Structure 1
Amino acid sequence: MTADEQRAHLDEAVSLSDLFRKVAAARGSAPALRDAGRTLSYRELDLLTDRLAARMIAEGVRPGDRVGLLLQRSAEIQISILAVMKAGAAYVPLDPSYPAERLRYLVRDAEIGLVVGDAEHVAAKGLTDVRVIAPRDDGAPTPPLPHIELDGGELAYVIYTSGSTGAPKGCMVTHTSVLELVRGVASVVDLTSEDRVAMFLPFIFDGSVLQFWLSIAAGGLAVVVPLPVAQSMPDFLELISRETVTLVIQVPTTLRALAHAHEEAGRPRLALRYILVGGESVELDVVSAFLERCPGTPPEVVNIYGPTEATCVATCRVLTREDFDGPVRSPIGTALPHLLVEVRDEAMEPVPDGEVGELVIAGSGVAVGYLGRPELTAERFVVLDTPDGPLRYYRTGDLARRFPDGSFEYLGRNDQQVKVRGIRVELGEVETFLRAHEMVRDAGATVVDTAAGAQFLVACVVLTDQAPEKPEKVLRQHMLASLPPFMVPDRYQFLPELPSTDSGKLDRRALRDLATPRRAPRP
């Protein structure tokens, strides 16, 4: 597939399933998806996903429905995503590691009637009110897949993020928004049909959307990263080398671990052409050292920034020596072509260049809103006046400043939302579940960073008089039963009372100071 064909397919596609069909027709027998010893060509992937989509429709799935995917890391995730879209529906990722209570909430909230997964596993999670379809084809005859016309305004997926009220919220994103995302990033990352993209990020996070559709749009090969490999950077490095992977997406924490593994392995030559890094503030020293020690031509490292509500990426910057030596600690670059990114004050008025304010984002990448949450949608997605008329913006809650050249510096959060190892977490939701335990009188949560660069979610807890001798173990079991593992505190600190401000609110800065371990003075 030539570069001109690639651009034409991406420009002409009106939906993600339309894009895939165009690429599959052009690529035919070329490899599309690899999972361990199994490689599917574009033609095979097209036929498999047609059959699964037809089975979904036979089970009652209709355009506009939401289909749950309860799947382990494997090619079945990408196969199921494509099939759901071919059926005209939207997929909802359901992580098998989630507690049963949380999975049941997601299924109810998203009004999911069909789940793709293993029937026994689905039942074991207590999802008894849904139909179940296996992702693997048993070879039985299936009805032909009817033609389903999409215009791009339909939902492609609903991804749930942490919610400050104790309940996760589903962010609704359309086909058009994802297509615009891929077009925008493709203007910076020049992939060809020879490229191989690692499916490293789990499908419950929006970065997985970018890594898969970048690969498809280029006509390249998507390489599935098994869970044990994703959890071991030496093993991931070996996979990157063995599969000659050319693009990976990482959060700074995992990139640091990857750089360390590369150093420990003797700095092997890699086929990497691009590393996209995002999710939290970039560690410029880590990136600089890694690039300096890469043999041969080092990859380009692109710092990407963007919330789920703006379809994963809003700004990006190819990092250079100027960035490594410069005064800006977290340069996130300029807006993608389809988006308008601005800095505004508390009254939502634009601020001059150089001043700090909240990042707001408008354009075709902005999500529809939160599923079933009109009040929260109205609070976070606001219509603001501009010289060109009213525009709908998403308020990110992120602080930044804009430079005269149109680029931005990321400066952290302005609310109770934090990033823990690149994953967005609402401290309010963690605190809600802590306080729900009968032995907890009050609780606050915070994130601390160690001198070595590690990051921990810490629960500061005021116990009742009836607390057991080992409350930490009890609380950890309580939290694991209610929340995904990434939202369960790594450490628990027990206090006689929580620090408060003069107005009586929780003093989060003082809480973080209390939770930060102190080094013992040298003798």
Structure 2
Amino acid sequence: MTSVVAAFRRRVADAPDTVAVCAGDDRLTYAGLDRWAREVTRRLVDGDGFSTAPGDRIAVCLDRSPELIAALLGILGAGAAFVPIGPTDPAQRVAEVFEDAGVRAVLCEPDDAERFAPYGVPVLHVPARPAPDAAAPPETYTVRPDDLAYLMYTSGSTGRPKAVMVEHRNITNLVTEPNYVDLGPDDRVLQLAPVAFDAATFEIWGALLNGARLVLAPGQQVPAEELGALLHGEGITVLWLTAALFHRQIDVDVKAFAGLRAVLAGGDVLSVPHIDELRSAVPGCVIVNGYGPTETTTFAVCHRIGAHEDLGQSVPIGTPLQNVDVRIVGDAGRPVPDGEAGELWIGGAGVSRGYWRRPDLTAKAFVTAPWDSSAGRFYRSGDLARRRPDGVIEFLGRNDDQFKLRGFRIEPGELESTLAGHPQVRSAAVGVRESHLADRRLVAWVVPDGDGLDRRALRSYLRERVPEHMIPAAFVALAELPITGNGKTDRKALPTPDWTSRSIYV
């Protein structure tokens, strides 16, 4: 494996005048992006009163723009690691991240200088774009494949955020000769995800390290009603969406996908009815179910859904990426036979370094295979899965998503997939809520596929498929499931049922 910087510069050498990044009418070639990134590196290394060193952490808070891409490449070129900060992150969260990461400086918009002034680190801005005939500054540091590329903060169960340490080699493995999607110089990839969300890793580097064009979406969010016009106008060929945004787009405008060569979706369970609708409406579009924790660099397992594949009630997560090793491990700490459920352990080139300054958490989650020390290091995903005889892996839910109700363990993912298999249901979420009588009850929030929701029919359908303790006490019809800023189902925003209303029961 090589570094992101070296892989990018190979593309610069191959096609320097090819457009690398576009934002509206703004076009930036591979050579132009390289010159700009090298200028960012020079300012970081030889700045006025400031100098970064390899291994430093540089916070980045920039709008989706060519400046952002130049900044990321410039930071990596200095041997430093970038730490994404969301434009709307609250001050307390920013303070926690700055302190925890030991941020050396922050690169931000000029208008945000006052916002970051209180944190006691240099506030820097991306230098102006160099002229096309400007000489590129020389390389100051040879980046190694095992250098730290970024810290990606995720929510911690204790309320304290924890950062995943991703190395250059993890990124280059993700997008170099990928076995889950075809990427090349003729492709145009839309950059839609926030840079603080690891789907952006695939979007940005999947494009730039394969000689493709990275198309930057305008604004913070693109409404489903407007996405089709953007995709068609820019000639997008490869698109990534979270499961929630994928489902919503199909609900609002399935023809938006016409013209795409491939769409990747994931981050949550995909709905079979939505897949079927897309396959029917746009049969030429390849659909990929992408699965992977942040700890294993965006994707670890993917499934290319066949045009006529019978999915049954759930979409499998598929087979491992190139150079990735996946095992299904039982309670005894040993791999289980095909067909048996167990925890999904992920090894190989995508596994990150661990958690920044959290050796206790790293030791628990990143382990050496007890059945064979030569098998290498694995990340324990906490997800339940089983491998079919054909080698395809099926996702069964999360260990830590399980909850107990009246002594029974319930896996919400299993129930949600079953609900989504009913012809009246487009998508569903389940959870436990306390009722007006102070007892805990199982609730299903359902987006109907049509005008009405026959709750009696849903109960009969579920009784044929799941145990009685998994039958929801209430069914709440919603126009759509709430979605977080990262495009996942916002379970905290699901409304509390009106327990006194007869309509939720019948």
User: Same fold by TM-score, threshold 0.5 exceeded?
Assistant: yes
Report if aligned partners of 1:356, 1:401 keep a CA contact under 8 Å in 2: yes
Aligned residue pair count: 438
Q: Which runs of 5+ in 1 are unaligned?
A: 1-12, 421-443, 459-479, 494-512
Question: CA offset at residue 515 of structure 1?
Answer: 9.6
Task: Give the percent of matched residue pairs that are identical in Structure 1 and Structure 2.
Answer: 31
* Counterpart for residue 382 of structure 2: 397
What SS class does the counterpart of residue 274 from structure 2 fall into? Answer: helix
For residues 352 and 146 of structure 1, the distance between their equivalents in structure 2, rounded to whole angstroms, comes to 51
Q: Which runs of 5+ in 2 are unaligned?
A: 404-410, 413-439, 449-477
For residues 75 and 370 of structure 1, the distance between their equivalents in structure 2, rounded to whole angstroms, comes to 30
* Counterpart for residue 238 of structure 1: 229
Is 1:314 the equivalent of 2:300? Answer: yes
* Counterpart for residue 368 of structure 2: 383
Measured at CA, do residues 69 and 268 of structure 1 come closer, stay the same or move farther in structure 2, by a change above 3 Å?
closer
Measured at CA, do residues 385 and 269 of structure 1 come closer, stay the same or move farther in structure 2, by a change above 3 Å?
closer
Question: CA offset at residue 517 of structure 1?
Answer: 9.4
Is 1:27 the equivalent of 2:15? Answer: yes
Q: Could you give the per-residue CA deviations for residues 391-443 of structure 1, whole angstroms, max 9, x where no partner exists?
A: 211110111111112110011111049999xxxxxxxxxxxxxxxxxxxxxxx
- 1:209 alignment partner AA: T
1:490 counterpart (463, 488, 493): 493
Q: Could you give the per-residue CA deviations for residues 418-473 of structure 1, whole angstroms, max 9, x where no partner exists?
A: 999xxxxxxxxxxxxxxxxxxxxxxx9x9964334743599xxxxxxxxxxxxxxx
Q: Could you give the per-residue CA deviations for residues 302-331 of structure 1, whole angstroms, max 9, x where no partner exists?
A: 1111111111111111102454x3335130
For residues 105 and 83 of structure 1, the distance between their equivalents in structure 2, rounded to whole angstroms, comes to 25
* Counterpart for residue 312 of structure 2: 327
2:36 counterpart (48, 58, 74): 48
Report if aligned partners of 1:448, 1:456 keep a CA contact under 8 Å in 2: no
Measured at CA, do residues 348 and 218 of structure 1 come closer, stay the same or move farther in structure 2, by a change above 3 Å?
same
1:433-452 matched pairs, under 5 angstroms: 449-452=445-448
* Counterpart for residue 341 of structure 2: 356
Is 1:198 the equivalent of 2:190? Answer: yes
Question: CA offset at residue 260 of structure 1?
Answer: 2.9
For residues 192 and 413 of structure 1, the distance between their equivalents in structure 2, rounded to whole angstroms, comes to 35
Two-structure CA RMSD over aligned residues (Å): 3.4
* Counterpart for residue 62 of structure 1: 53
* Counterpart for residue 176 of structure 1: 169
* Counterpart for residue 322 of structure 2: 337
Report if aligned partners of 1:53, 1:86 keep a CA contact under 8 Å in 2: yes
Report if aligned partners of 2:333, 2:371 keep a CA contact under 8 Å in 1: no
1:102-121 matched pairs, under 5 angstroms: 102-121=93-112
Measured at CA, do residues 55 and 515 of structure 1 come closer, stay the same or move farther in structure 2, by a change above 3 Å?
farther
- 2:112 alignment partner AA: H
Measured at CA, do residues 139 and 327 of structure 1 come closer, stay the same or move farther in structure 2, by a change above 3 Å?
closer
Q: Could you give the per-residue CA deviations for residues 336-372 of structure 1, whole angstroms, max 9, x where no partner exists?
A: 1211111112332222211111101111211100001
What SS class does the counterpart of residue 115 from structure 1 fall into? Answer: strand
* Counterpart for residue 208 of structure 1: 200
Measured at CA, do residues 516 and 376 of structure 1 come closer, stay the same or move farther in structure 2, by a change above 3 Å?
farther
Question: CA offset at residue 187 of structure 1?
Answer: 2.5
Question: CA offset at residue 138 of structure 1?
Answer: 7.1
For residues 234 and 219 of structure 2, the distance between their equivalents in structure 1, rounded to whole angstroms, comes to 16
2:481 counterpart (446, 455, 480): 455
What SS class does the counterpart of residue 24 from structure 1 fall into? Answer: helix
Question: CA offset at residue 335 of structure 1?
Answer: 0.9
Report if aligned partners of 2:38, 2:139 keep a CA contact under 8 Å in 1: no
* Counterpart for residue 214 of structure 2: 222
Measured at CA, do residues 196 and 129 of structure 1 come closer, stay the same or move farther in structure 2, by a change above 3 Å?
same
- 1:177 alignment partner AA: N
For residues 291 and 231 of structure 2, the distance between their equivalents in structure 1, rounded to whole angstroms, comes to 24
Report if aligned partners of 2:482, 2:493 keep a CA contact under 8 Å in 1: yes
For residues 269 and 113 of structure 1, the distance between their equivalents in structure 2, rounded to whole angstroms, comes to 42
Q: Could you give the per-residue CA deviations for residues 256-291 of structure 1, whole angstroms, max 9, x where no partner exists?
A: 22223334xxx3683210101111111122122112
* Counterpart for residue 167 of structure 1: 160
For residues 392 and 103 of structure 2, the distance between their equivalents in structure 1, rounded to whole angstroms, comes to 41
Report if aligned partners of 1:305, 1:316 keep a CA contact under 8 Å in 2: yes
Q: TM-score if structure 1 supplies the norm length?
A: 0.77
* Counterpart for residue 286 of structure 1: 274
Q: Could you give the per-residue CA deviations for residues 4-59 of structure 1, whole angstroms, max 9, x where no partner exists?
A: xxxxxxxxx62000011110111111111001221101111111111111111123
For residues 403 and 484 of structure 1, the distance between their equivalents in structure 2, rounded to whole angstroms, comes to 29
Measured at CA, do residues 353 and 224 of structure 1 come closer, stay the same or move farther in structure 2, by a change above 3 Å?
same
Question: CA offset at residue 487 of structure 1?
Answer: 7.3
- 1:353 alignment partner AA: D
- 2:336 alignment partner AA: V
Report if aligned partners of 1:104, 1:127 keep a CA contact under 8 Å in 2: no
Measured at CA, do residues 515 and 80 of structure 1 come closer, stay the same or move farther in structure 2, by a change above 3 Å?
farther
Report if aligned partners of 2:38, 2:136 keep a CA contact under 8 Å in 1: no
Measured at CA, do residues 448 and 395 of structure 1 come closer, stay the same or move farther in structure 2, by a change above 3 Å?
farther
For residues 386 and 488 of structure 2, the distance between their equivalents in structure 1, rounded to whole angstroms, comes to 33
Report if aligned partners of 1:103, 1:125 keep a CA contact under 8 Å in 2: no
Report if aligned partners of 2:36, 2:129 keep a CA contact under 8 Å in 1: no
For residues 137 and 365 of structure 2, the distance between their equivalents in structure 1, rounded to whole angstroms, comes to 43
